Structure 1
Amino acid sequence: MPLFRVLDECCLAKAGRRRKRKRNVEWMKTSRRPDEDGSVLSLTRLCMLSVADNMKEVWVKDYADKYLDQYSFRHIMGPFNLLPGDLVEELMLLLCSRKELSRAALHLLLVPQLRSLSLESCPGLVTPALCGHISARCQGLLNLDLSGAQQLSVKVLCETLHSLSNLHWLCLAGIPCDRFVIKTITLCCHLLRHLDVSRCHLLTPSALLPLGGGPCCPSSPSPNGSSSHCASPSQSSISSPSSSSALSPLPLRSLLALDIGFEEKEGDSVAAAAYLLLSLPSLERLALEGLTQACSLIEQKQFWQVEEFTSREGVPRLEDLWRDRSKQQVNGWKQMRTRDRKEVEDEEEEGRGFWEESGSESEENVSRDKELVSSEDQTEEKLSSQSDLILQLRDVRGLTCDSLDSFARVCPSISSLSVSVTDDDESFGGQKQSSVLAAGLQSYSGQLRSLSVQFPGTLTDLFPALKVSGPSLVSLTLEGVKTSTDTPLLEVITMCHRLRELAISVEPPTIARGTHDRERIHDDGNLPKLPHLSSLSINFSYEHNQPKPLMSWMSLKRVLRCLLNGSPLLQKVSLVSLPCPLDSVLLRVLFAFHRSWLQVSDPAGSPPLPLARLQHINLLRTDVTMPTLKKLLDRSKNLKYVDVSYCWNISQREWMTLNTSNKVKFVWV
């Protein structure tokens, strides 16, 4: 027995040494693994990867077994308290990307030095108990994202925000919050710059009015007799309006509030949008219903239309707000003119000193000084009589096609637009909506960088608008556009040659049964290119009862070859339910490089590899095959995510035999 026992110990020792050598080899392989941009991983990144690998089996296991459901700690003094806040944030993001962030891990990582916390990817972990930990441990938070957390009540949200007075960035999209949460934010988060309450259906546009100042929920008395700064929802609802106090507007630069609740009275959403535009002077990014009509109301100064609304809501009159903003605008221009005049006077003083030293002064300089003073007096007189208010918006969403000309006069500095066009064929004195859209975009010719259009017509009807804004665009999104087998997508690429992001979500072409569009033979060498494109999405709507799309748009293959072969910087591609064969397109793109590379005598001068930088690809409901997918994996070394769900040419047996690295996540149904 002792001999066998000793033999067992020797075998165990050898096995332990083999496991150690195996771990060392794996570590060396990991240390040589490049990052997303192709660079070698830093020592800090390697350490974070090591901690993430051991998080579940070491740190989380010990805490979950001994403390998680037995104690409730206000603070946890553990190893992560010694890490800088940015490293804790990096570790949390790494665990989120791996889907390994758990309740126990969150308890350990909620440290006082944390400045940013995003739980958007795991809303199921956001509970009232966790919010209590956040408000107790992370009172120095600057950025907080709780998107989609459906388990939180209004009371819990108010109590949590009451403790986070340093917030600069807050996202509550998709959370059941109401006007009491908005009042709490206004009362307690005085440094807030960004607020996202999109898809909060309990909110109405009128509930956002406290953000711009005006009356607020009354404060409740504290035990020592003084009034607290923020009342709870229950306290606010039972207090009398006579004890209410005025609020100062928040320094918001970004407010996103699309897809929220509806107003009971028609026109209240427009009045609320106009009030927020006038009461929040720092706004640069805004997403709100009724925005176009609100700018038209401000431009035409028709404030009498909303007097009943302002009186009912107890907020300042829009005419008074407009007058104050206009004075601030004129004063700002005067200060700028004063600075310019001082600079000119300093330069003139230097020149006058030179002429005095030389013993003479030019009559030309004297007359120029008189003309300068006269010109400045005329400028000041013009500024004093200025009646057009200019808003500083840069990025707006929720616009409609009507009154775009008024919007352009009020907001001339727009660089990003999201416009929704109605289904009406005729509008505005017989003009088509597409013509009105093109005329409205003419005001931003050469300065628009991002454009998103929801358009129910054909793509050809959008050409006038794309010709106006296309040359300067770096991002283009088209939704709801009707297509046919003759839709000229290549012309869109030609008009928008600087695009970095292109997203097209359209309906498939409708043709009679039994008819198909035949692909014409063309030379791919003359195809237009998008050399800066990094994100491509072409998604067609489909009916769930159809096993696969109808292959009817054969000429679309040429457009796909153009985009895939002429965009070497592509990192993210989504091609869903294409009404044309995709497998042959991918094979031709992958083969085209080898053929062109063989024609180049110097390998260093070869063209860039198509799809070589690809990281994320979605080929849902397409005819892609497993051999093509393997060739794509060999080409794209940085690939991390592949979705080939409902691809009818890929069988379960082929899928099970696929031998790939662990770093690629595959989705197949």
Structure 2
Amino acid sequence: MPLFRALGEHGSGAKAHPGQKRTSTVKFKRRSRKTDEDGSVLSLERLCMLSLADNMKEVWVKDYSEKYLDEYCFRHIMGPFNLLSGELVEELTQLLCRRKQLSRAALHLLLVPQLRGLSLAKCPGLVNSALCPHIAARCQGLWSLDLSGAQQLPSKVLAETLCSLPYLRSLSLAGTPCDRSVIRTIAQRCRLLRHLDVSHCHFLSPAALLLLGSGASISSSECSSGALLALDIGFGEHEEDPVAAAAYLLLSLPCLERVALERLAQACCLIQNREFDQMDQFTEREGVPRLAVLFQERRQMLGMESCRKTREGAAANEEDEDEERILWEGCGSERKADSSGDEGPSLSQNQAEEHRRARAESQSDDKHFMLHLKHIECLSCDSLDSLSRLCPNICSISVNTDDYDEARGRSQGSLLTAGLKTWSGQLRSLCIRYPGPLVELLPALQVAGWSLFSLTLEGLKTSPHSPLLEVIKSCPKLRDLSISAEPPTTPQEEENEEDQLDDQNLPWLPDLSSLTLKFSYEHSQMRPSMSWWSLRQVLKCLLTGSPLLEKLSLVSLPCPLDSVLQYALHRGGFLPRRFPYYSDLPLMPLRRLQHIELPRTDVRTGTVERIMLHSKRLKYIDVSYCWEISQQGWWGLKFNKQTRLNKKTACNRHASKLICIFA
């Protein structure tokens, strides 16, 4: 078993081989940067992590690879990483993943018993049949495991690995060969599981998920929250299998809060209309309880919870009345005499009345039956009405209208508006795929937009008169805004805009941290058609009125962008007076940018240079296929500013593609 000790300790070095010169010190890579991206001094912990990452390959990994990797199989490796906490090992692992430096040998060294979270989604090629036994033997205390995309991992090996991880709370197997045997193992062995993602597992049928309802811990009523994601999985034997499976899981997993299932909307309609008899053949074939039986059990559970809350409320009221009686007795006798005639009903009478009311509600018709779902994905506009009655606590929703046509487009927009009214004021995240005009979505956004933190619009059709400014006005609290749309088909004449816009009339998004505007394009088309000149006003509004912006992605814009960026770089001051909570927040556009993507735009080399000097936290720039930037000018910028910027650069040498990544 290899024993690694801290370098520099007495006796830590191995004996030198004959003819080999013995060295007492090891030279490490020097880091030229001693401060963080914003100029603040790096903490000692962060410096240690960076030093470990820099020297991982040439020190620790090199020694282990040369001496032990392919010759021995260790249950545990006693080395320097055993002395680190699990959080630091997890941070180091993620740092190596982001740098594309995580190798098989490095992963062997980082699989320590104190590790609580392991995510290999960014390097799925490392996950194979040889690695899983190491995970099962060394990391039996894992709480979170993400093996998404590990397509070369056999289901048998995956099931054997999960048998040794009983403390898992979160498990992601998206895109893996997960099948029924893996789900059975999860249901039997992972009793503490709260989050499960098996999306894109094509070997998994909807009926196989029924095992979760009978054995998995996410079916426990004591669970505070649960998540089940199973989109794009295999097909069932019959067409109604996905609907029946979704309804069974909704009734048998009472703690579910986040759900992404095929045919979820139809399952909610089935529960809302109590059409359980239609699925008796499915439940008999799979050997599980009938949906009607599950529904009655769920009603009884809700009744018991209601009675428990009633008893707790009655006990609290009794304590309050005792305290009030003590205070009452301490008052003067005259006040006692005046109040002796109207004391009202006794506590026992009130308590009995509350118990009778609770029993009547639990035994009455199930008008108030509801699910505790809060996050739902993949719905249609037609299902929002029944869903609003069954799930009144929704705060995040994803709506898909791929079957859009012009004849019923406006009706779908009105259905969406009516459905979102139920959750108005409580929605925090909204994602809509709507291949129609943006103007048809405006009423729905005006209903639900003022409470949104995240808004995603996909597949939109735009025109020079699309109400983007009205959308921004309707969603003043946005932190993430993402719009993917088709460019206008009719061109717009160039407008003469004033250099200074009226700050009092323009909408602002002071909390916005991520902005994406992506327009579709043909790969054979080098430059997008400049057909939406008024879009420049929207961009000026978003870039100058969002001082907290960290991620910016503007792809194939149908309007000039370089002048807008120059305008934003010149802006300063403070937010308008109508933002009292941000009155002291300085207006410094683009100062906090860390990630910027500007493919297929007219941005120039000088503007990119100014952004690099202006944004001290910048880590990534993508100016792919920008026709105003030549490769010669880009490499000249790198050569002239490398010392001044004090940042490493790695650029793609293709003539038509230029990407800059700062280490």
Q: Judge same fold: TM > 0.5, yes or no.
A: yes
> Corresponding residue for 1:277?
250
Report the AA paired with residue 394 of structure 1: K
Q: Residues 520-549 of structure 1: CA distance to partner in whole angstroms, max 9, x if unpaired?
A: 525522321100000001111111121221
Offset at residue 151 of structure 1 (A): 1.3
Name the CA distance, whole Å, in 1 between partners of 2:421 and 2:537: 31
- Assess, with a 3 A threshold, how the Cα gap between structure 1 residues 595 and 85 changes in structure 2: closer, same or farther: closer
3-state SS, counterpart of residue 176 of structure 1:
coil
Matched, 1:321 2:294: yes
Q: What amino acid is the match of 2:93?
A: M
Q: In 1, distance between residues paired with 2:86 and 2:528?
A: 49
- Which residue number in structure 2 is paired with residue 391 of structure 1? 371
- Return the alpha-carbon distance in structure 2 between the equivalents of residues 105 and 370 of structure 1: 68
Q: 1:379 aligns with which of 354, 357, 364?
A: 357
Q: Give 2:271's match in structure 1, choosing from 298, 315, 324.
A: 298
Is the 2:596–2:621 contact (alpha carbons within 8 Å) kept by the matching residues of 1?
Answer: yes
Give the whole-Å Cα distance in 2 for the aligned partners of 1:605 and 1:452: 33
1:255 Cα deviation (Å)?
A: 0.9
- Counterpart residue number, 1:645: 624
> Match for 1:267 among 240, 249, 253?
240
Residues matched between the structures, number: 603
Distance in 2 (CA, whole Å) between partners of 1:447 and 1:129 is 47
1:273-325 Cα shifts (integer Å, max 9, x gaps): 11110011111111112111211111111111111111111111111111111
Q: What is the root-mean-square deviation of aligned Cα atoms in Å?
A: 2.7
Q: Which residue is equivalent to 1:532? A: 511
Deviation of 1:505 (Å): 0.8
For residues 370 and 161 of structure 1, what CA distance do their matches in structure 2 show? 53
Write the deviation string for residues 405-431 of structure 1: whole angstroms up to 9, x where unpaired: 111111111100011124344899x97
Write out aligned runs for 1:43-442 (5 A). 43-213=44-214, 253-353=226-326, 358=333, 360=337, 362-367=340-345, 372=350, 376=354, 379-386=357-364, 387=366, 388-425=368-405, 432-442=411-421
Report Cα offsets for 1:630-664 as digits up to 9, x if no partner: 00001100000111112122111122222334356
Corresponding residue SS for 1:50: helix
Give the whole-Å Cα distance in 1 for the aligned partners of 2:496 and 2:478.
Answer: 27
Question: Offset at 1:605?
Answer: 7.6
User: With structure 2 as the length reference, what TM-score do the two structures score?
Assistant: 0.86
- Cα distance per residue 1:467-515 (max 9 Å; x no partner): 110111110000111111211111100111110000001111113xxx5
**Equivalent residue for 2:497?**
521
Q: Residues of 2 paired with 1:375 and 1:663: CA distance?
A: 74
Gaps of 5+ in 1: 1-18, 217-246, 597-603
Retained in 1: the 8 A contact 2:544–2:587?
no
The answer (yes or no) to whether the contact 2:571–2:588 under 8 Å persists in 1 is no
Partner-residue secondary structure (3-state), 2:559: coil
User: For 2:462 and 2:418, how far apart are their aligned partners in 1?
Assistant: 24
Corresponding position of 2:549 = 570
> AA paired with 1:488?
P
Mapped partners of 1:177, 1:587: distance in 2: 51
Q: Distance in 2 between matches of 1:363 and 1:626?
A: 87
1:250 CA drift (Å): 11
Query: What's the counterpart of residue 662 of structure 1?
Result: 647
Match of 1:579 in 2: 558
1:212–1:248 contact (8 Å) kept in structure 2:
no
Contact 2:427/2:452 (<8 A) preserved: yes
Superposed displacement of residue 34, structure 1: 2.3
C-alpha spacing 1:349/1:199, structure 2 compared with 1 (3 Å): same
Aligned pair 1:30/2:22, yes or no?
no
Over 3 Å counting, the alpha-carbon distance change for 1:271 and 1:548 in structure 2 is same
**Structure 1 residues 280 and 646, CA, compared in 2 at 3 Å: closer, same or farther?**
same
Q: For 2:133, what is the secondary structure of its paired residue? A: helix
Task: Give how far 1:566 is off.
Answer: 0.7
Query: Shift in Å at residue 591 of structure 1?
Result: 2.2
Match of 1:557 in 2: 536
User: Cα 1:65–1:370, aligned 2, differ >3 Å: closer, same or farther?
Assistant: closer
One-letter amino acid of the counterpart of residue 415, structure 1: C
Change (3 A) 1:590 1:665: farther
Using a 3 Å threshold, how does the CA distance of structure 1 residues 521 and 167 change in structure 2: closer, same or farther?
same
User: Are the counterparts in 2 of residues 425 and 432 from structure 1 also a CA contact under 8 Å?
Assistant: no
CA shift for structure 1 position 460: 0.4
Shift of 1:354: 5.5
C-alpha spacing 1:39/1:310, structure 2 compared with 1 (3 Å) = farther
1:503 match: 482
CA distance in 1, matches of 2:347, 2:182: 58
Instruction: Supply the distance in 2 between the matched residues of 1:341 and 1:622 (Cα, whole angstroms).
Output: 66
Counterpart CA distance in 1 for 2:476 and 2:529 is 30
One-letter identity of the residue aligned with 2:145? L
Return the alpha-carbon distance in structure 1 between the equivalents of residues 488 and 584 of structure 2: 41
Q: Which moved more, 1:636-645 or 1:524-533?
A: 524-533
Q: Using a 3 Å threshold, how does the CA distance of structure 1 residues 500 and 548 change in structure 2: closer, same or farther? A: same
**Aligned match for 1:613, one of 592, 606, 610:** 592
Instruction: Name the structure with the higher helix share.
Output: 1
2:302, 2:362 within 8 Å by CA — same for their partners in 1? no
| Match status 1:475 vs 2:454 | yes
Q: Call closer, same or farther: CA 1:664–1:364 in 2, change over 3 Å.
A: farther
1:304-360 CA-to-partner distances (Å, cap 9, x unmatched) read 111111111111111111111111111111111111112222232344455667575
Percent identity reads: 57
How far is the alpha carbon of 1:666 from its aligned partner?
A: 5.2
Q: Is the 8 A contact 1:642 1:666 kept in 2?
A: no
TM-score, normalized by length of structure 1? 0.85
CA distances 1:161-180 after superposition (whole Å, capped 9, x unpaired): 11111111111111122222
1:220 is matched with which residue? none
Q: Aligned partner of 2:119: which letter?
A: S
CA distance in 1, matches of 2:113, 2:327: 62
- 3-state SS of paired residue (2:160): helix
Query: Does residue 525 of structure 2 align to residue 546 of structure 1?
Result: yes
Letter in 2 for 1:611: L
Q: Which secondary structure does the structure 2 equivalent of 1:471 belong to?
A: helix
In the alignment, is the contact (CA less than 8 A) between 2:574 and 2:584 conserved in 1? Answer: no
Conserved 8 A contact 2:514-2:549:
yes
Q: Which amino acid aligns with 1:300?
A: N
Q: What is the Cα deviation at residue 139 of structure 1? A: 1.2
Give the AA of the match of 1:60: V
Give 1:92 shift: 1.1
Whole-Å separation in 2 of the counterparts to 1:200 and 1:249: 27
CA separation of 1:142/1:665 partners in 2, compared to 1, >3 Å: closer, same or farther? farther
Contact 1:642 1:664 in 2 (8 A): no
Query: Does the 8 Å contact 1:284/1:393 carry over to 2?
Result: yes
Please list the CA deviations of residues 28-56 of structure 1 after superposition, one character each: whole Å capped at 9, or x if unmatched: x633x0266x6432111111111111111
Q: Is the 8 A contact 1:614 1:636 kept in 2?
A: yes
CA distance in 2, matches of 1:313, 1:494: 52
